[in-house]
């Protein structure tokens, strides 16, 4: 993992203290037990003030089990179609590309940082596609020329000037970290539609940090703050027309800003050269604030649903235009009859309701996801399997990427969470990885908006039918579940492609430590006769064998099977990874699709970090007791004789030796869950044994410099360890 910082959830959430009257963000784990709960608990007497007793508190920790294998730079590919003898290079600032022209290289194009050179030697050779041998080919000579030019001082990088017909890839800085979009064939869908400004998506959540630089004010329609209790709203009043998120103080390290993350997935600025991409690039966002300090009440959430649907509600206010889609990354166990009435009314009014199924790793229903009028969304990991925290009740209609922060299966040095917009209580803006069904739900809401954009005449019921009828396979999902497929959905809505659109399923293969074979299905869902030209791992992977089989001879790329076989014989213990790229020729051009392959040999390298476990005062956050958890013991920890009272139980590493835990680049966690902490009650003479909770590798992706106050910062509350 990279040492840079964000909060994410490893453990399933718990239901202690949850009532139907206090729904909260259980669906991704963002703050059920908020700061008010902690402060109220502290009123009964906190730790540190009494005499030592025989009270015993012990348990164990779950630590991130990531075994990252970073992808090496992809080598040049002489088998790909390219402009004959041309090399494209990126020139450093202040360097004139003209100086590199001469008897070996002709300067074809320059201006700005991009320059194109023509290799004289390569131009004198024949092409592979005209029958030349590889060793004597123009293509191989062009690759060698690219290496030579890249080595020149003042050249940042260089490669052959390939001819590609790629799916639409936004130029957002961090798009490459958003693995969750290719998983649902979203880049291919963007070739057909990127959304419509006539579609409105309402986000019922904690509100919005509107100043985040990756939100476009022109794409926001007036919303509402539906929180009726000023102490919950924390903005000095009750219901009003300003849905700005002032923070819910939900976690030990500050506010969750959950709605900002969710809204970023649905509709962040896209293809604007910075930040991340949203699922829909054009839809309007309506923010309805229903969750605050301690969560949200059924009455506030129900009125928020009615408001978004432009139906009579307790605020007495109505939006100018109702929402087409409502995303609810919120919920709680059980079925609320009042909430069901609100959902049924909104659905009858023509609104498509989408909700997160919950993070309790249970088959129990939850509100509002389980209602028939709501599209319930479960979460899958990078491989398309059920995420370990996701609920799996039979009412789940669809699955979508929610991530698994305990893994890094694509070897990008970041946890496999969903990357989106984030803020902190000090006014900083950045991007964070999170996991949960709260992250899965906005993927479906965003795709629903794309479907509506592709065919504005579709009703909510018809959009629902399109989403459910055009899906892709997951990996052994409960109840025969299927994963949302953005490309299939917009095509079913009537959007058509003008060229090839290659897809691969699954989009990632993890052989683990024992599996030896797997298959990937590749197909062309667009136009044109795509003919497979090559299937190549890069970097080279001698341990991997690749065999392509056509479903029918001469029918081009149509559900062709790529069989992968691995051989661990003689390999040292470790993780091996490559990216397999299938290139297909379409006339004079080429297009491609890629998928990651990962294999483990032997046992995973064990963690070596010492973890400090602290009991802190829930009100002052002062540390009173400390224990250590070591890898050799399986991260067991034990407090012997402590003073009776109530404590917040937190744990983390101190890799930078600053005597603080919970800061950048560290593991950190809280019992029972970082995003839903609850105090423990240590009663004199009693024992609290077997307590277990997970640690998270805190990772934040900084914002763009100058993109707003604190754009590169992440200010998190830390905890002082005892020396």
What distance in Å separates the CA atoms of residue 561 and residue 343, rounded to the nearest whole number? 43
Choice among 28, 180, 258, 393 that is catalytic: 258
Q: Please give the structure tokens belonging to residue 506.
A: 């699954």
DSSP 8-state secondary structure symbol assigned to residue 26: T
Q: Encode pLDDT of 353-412 as tens digits.
A: 999 999 989 999 999 999 999 999 999 999 999 999 999 999 999 999 999 988 888 877
Choice among 172, 205, 404, 617 that is catalytic: 205
What distance in Å separates the CA atoms of residue 15 and residue 525, rounded to the nearest whole number? 44
Four-residue CA torsion sign, 696, 702, 708, 709: positive
Q: Which residues contact 124 (CB under 8 A, 6 or more apart)?
A: none
Sheet holding 508-510, edge to edge: 508-510, 589-601, 574-586, 531-538
Q: What are phi and psi of 144, to 5 degrees?
A: -65, -40
Q: Which string of DSSP letters, residue by residue, matches 129-192?
A: GGT--GGGBHHHHHHHHHHHHHTSTTEEEEEEEE---PPP----TTGGG-THHHHTTHHHHHTT
Residues in the chain with pLDDT < 50?
Answer: 1-46, 48-50, 68-72, 165-166, 704-713
Cβ–Cβ under 8 Å, residues 196 and 210:
no
Confidence (pLDDT) at 28:
39
Q: Please give the structure tokens belonging to residue 559.
A: 């559900």
Cβ–Cβ under 8 Å, residues 173 and 274:
yes
Cβ–Cβ under 8 Å, residues 592 and 166:
yes
Q: 205 an active-site residue?
A: yes
Cβ–Cβ under 8 Å, residues 167 and 188:
yes
Confidence (pLDDT) at 605:
65
Q: Please give the structure tokens belonging to residue 334.
A: 């059980």
CA dihedral of residues 112, 174, 3, 13 (deg, nearest 10): 170
Q: Quickly tell me which residue has 């990216």 as its tokens.
A: 579
Choice among 255, 373, 390, 438 that is catalytic: 438
What distance in Å separates the CA atoms of residue 271 and residue 178, rounded to the nearest whole number? 13
Is 355 buried (19+), middle (13-18) or exposed (0-12) by CB count in 10 A?
buried
What distance in Å separates the CA atoms of residue 382 and residue 401, rounded to the nearest whole number? 7
Q: Please give the structure tokens belonging to residue 309.
A: 């649907």
Cβ–Cβ under 8 Å, residues 289 and 226:
yes
What distance in Å separates the CA atoms of residue 405 and residue 165, rounded to the nearest whole number? 33
Host H or E run for residue 445: helix 437-454
Give the number of other CB atoms < 10 A from CB of residue 604: 14
Q: If we measure between CA atoms, which residue out of 454, 449, 447, 557 comes closest to residue 496?
A: 454
Q: Which residues contact 112 (CB under 8 A, 6 or more apart)?
A: none
Q: If we measure between CA atoms, which residue out of 409, 472, 402, 594 comes closest to residue 9?
A: 402
Longest dimension (CA), the chain: 89
48 CA to centre of own chain:
40
Cα-based distances in Å from 247 to 17, 73, 76: 22, 41, 48
Four-residue CA torsion sign, 251, 180, 445, 372: negative
Cβ–Cβ under 8 Å, residues 260 and 208:
yes
Cβ–Cβ under 8 Å, residues 595 and 535:
no
Q: Are strands 82-91 and 155-162 parallel, antiparallel or unpaired?
A: antiparallel
What distance in Å separates the CA atoms of residue 480 and residue 492, rounded to the nearest whole number? 21
Confidence (pLDDT) at 103:
92
Q: 438 an active-site residue?
A: yes
Q: Which residues of 157-194 are buried (b: 16+ CB within 10 A; e: fewer)?
A: ebbbbbeebebeebebbbbebbbbbbbbbbbbbbbbbb
590 CA to centre of own chain:
30
What distance in Å separates the CA atoms of residue 406 and residue 359, rounded to the nearest whole number? 15
């Amino acid at each position: 993992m990279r040492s840079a910082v964000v909060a994410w959830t490893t453990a399933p959430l718990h239901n202690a203290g949850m009532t139907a009257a206090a729904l909260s963000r259980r669906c991704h784990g963002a703050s059920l037990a908020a700061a008010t709960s902690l402060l109220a608990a502290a009123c009964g007497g906190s730790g540190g003030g009494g005499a030592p007793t025989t009270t015993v508190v012990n348990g164990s920790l779950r630590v991130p089990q990531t075994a990252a294998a970073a992808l090496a730079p992809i080598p040049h590919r002489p088998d790909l179609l390219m402009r004959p003898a041309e090399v494209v290079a990126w020139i450093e600032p202040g360097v004139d590309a003209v100086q590199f022209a001469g008897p070996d290289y002709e300067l074809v194009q320059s201006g700005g940082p991009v320059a194109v050179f023509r290799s004289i030697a390569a131009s004198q050779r024949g092409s592979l596609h005209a029958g030349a041998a590889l060793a004597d080919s123009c293509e191989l000579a062009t690759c060698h020329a690219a290496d030579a030019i890249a080595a020149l001082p003042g050249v940042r990088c260089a490669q052959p000037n390939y001819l590609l017909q790629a799916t639409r890839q936004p130029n957002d800085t961090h798009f490459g970290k958003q693995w969750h979009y290719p998983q649902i064939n979203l880049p291919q869908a963007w070739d057909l539609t990127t959304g419509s400004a006539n579609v409105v998506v309402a986000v019922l959540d904690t509100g919005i940090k509107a100043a985040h630089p990756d939100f476009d004010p022109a794409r926001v329609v007036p919303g509402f703050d539906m929180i009726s209790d000023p102490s919950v709203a924390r903005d000095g009043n009750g219901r009003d027309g300003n849905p700005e998120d002032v923070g819910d103080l939900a976690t030990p390290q500050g506010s969750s800003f959950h709605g900002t993350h969710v809204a970023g997935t649905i509709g962040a600025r896209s293809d604007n050269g910075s930040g991340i991409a949203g699922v829909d690039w054009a839809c309007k966002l309506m923010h309805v604030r229903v969750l605050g300090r301690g969560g949200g009440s059924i009455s506030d959430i129900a009125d928020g649903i009615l408001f978004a649907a432009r139906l009579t509600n307790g605020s007495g206010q109505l939006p100018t235009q109702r929402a087409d889609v409502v995303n609810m990354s919120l919920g709680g166990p059980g079925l609320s009859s009042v909430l069901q009435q609100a959902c049924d009314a909104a659905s009858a009014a023509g609104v498509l309701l989408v909700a997160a199924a919950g993070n309790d790793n249970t088959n129990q229903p939850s509100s509002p996801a389980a209602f028939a009028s709501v599209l319930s969304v479960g979460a899958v990991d990078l491989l398309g399997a059920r995420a370990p925290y996701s609920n799996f009740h039979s009412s789940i209609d669809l699955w979508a990427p929610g991530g698994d922060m305990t893994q890094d299966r694509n070897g990008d040095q970041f946890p496999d969470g969903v990357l989106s917009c984030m803020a902190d209580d000090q006014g900083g803006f950045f991007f964070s990885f999170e996991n949960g069904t709260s992250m899965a739900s906005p993927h479906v809401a965003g795709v629903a908006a794309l479907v509506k954009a592709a065919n504005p005449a579709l009703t909510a019921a018809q959009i629902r039918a399109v989403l459910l009828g055009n899906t892709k396979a997951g990996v052994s999902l409960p109840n025969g579940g299927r994963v949302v497929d953005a490309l299939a959905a917009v095509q079913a809505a009537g959007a058509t492609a003008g060229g090839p659109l290659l897809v691969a399923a699954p989009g990632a293969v993890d052989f683990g430590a024992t599996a030896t074979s797997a298959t990937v299905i590749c197909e062309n869902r667009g136009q044109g006769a795509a003919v497979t030209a090559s299937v190549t791992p890069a970097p080279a992977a001698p341990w991997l064998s690749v065999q392509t089989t056509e479903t029918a001879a001469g029918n081009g790329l149509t559900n062709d099977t790529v069989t992968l076989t691995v051989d661990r014989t003689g390999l040292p213990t470790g993780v091996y990874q490559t990216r397999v790229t299938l290139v297909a020729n379409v006339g004079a051009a080429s297009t491609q699709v890629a998928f990651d392959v990962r294999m483990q040999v032997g046992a995973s390298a064990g963690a070596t970090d010492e973890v400090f476990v602290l009991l802190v005062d829930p009100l002052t956050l002062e540390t009173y007791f400390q224990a250590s958890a070591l890898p050799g013991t399986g991260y067991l920890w034990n407090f012997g004789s402590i003073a009776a009272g109530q404590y917040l139980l937190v744990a983390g590493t101190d890799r930078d030796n600053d005597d603080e835990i919970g800061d950048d680049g560290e593991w950190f966690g809280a019992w029972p869950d970082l995003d839903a902490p609850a105090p423990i009650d240590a009663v004199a003479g009693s024992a609290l044994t077997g307590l277990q909770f997970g640690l998270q590798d805190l990772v934040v992706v900084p914002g763009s410099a100058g993109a707003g106050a604190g754009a590169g910062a992440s200010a998190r509350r830390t905890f002082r360890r005892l020396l």
